[in-house]
């Protein structure tokens, strides 16, 4: 396994410096997916029991001013949830574009190297 990874990294040449950044981006998009899914539970609890959720938020996060109106709280949480999913989607598309572009650049480089070797 170690030999295989060594050969793979050797084949990447100068682009091997991009691998740590690509891994960081990959983990970032995974973290955003987990965060987006994790926010659905609190949102559903606000929809089902708004007063209980409001008390829990007030108890744990005292620096946030919570609106007294349940509809206002629900509207704020809806906008927050939609905003986070929008950011998650846009960043996921951007990160996937970067990863695909890196893969395509590697494919082109390998094709050119093989053409040179066979000609």
Q: 10-52, pLDDT tens digit by residue?
A: 777 777 788 888 889 888 888 888 888 888 887 888 788 877 7
Which of the four pLDDT bands, split at 50, 70 and 90, describes residue 119?
low
Q: How confident is the model at residue 8 (pLDDT cuts 50, 70, 90)?
A: confident
E strand segments, 74-118: none
pLDDT bracket for residue 55 (50, 70, 90): confident
Give 33's contacts (C-beta < 8 A, 6+ positions apart).
88, 92
Q: Is residue 14 within 8 Å of residue 109, measured between CB atoms? A: no
Q: Which residue has the higher pLDDT, 51 or 109?
A: 109
């Amino acid at each position: 396994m170690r030999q295989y990874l060594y050969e793979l990294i050797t084949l990447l040449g100068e682009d091997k410096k991009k691998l740590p950044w690509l891994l960081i981006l990959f983990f970032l998009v995974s973290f955003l997916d987990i965060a987006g899914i994790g926010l659905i539970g609190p949102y559903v609890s606000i929809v089902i029991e708004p007063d209980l959720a409001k008390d829990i938020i007030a108890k744990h996060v005292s620096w946030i001013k919570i609106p007294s109106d349940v509809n206002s709280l629900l509207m704020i949480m809806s906008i927050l949830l939609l905003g986070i999913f929008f950011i998650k989607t846009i960043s996921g598309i951007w990160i996937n574009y970067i990863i695909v572009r890196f893969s395509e650049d590697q494919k082109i480089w390998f094709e050119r190297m093989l053409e040179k070797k066979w000609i």
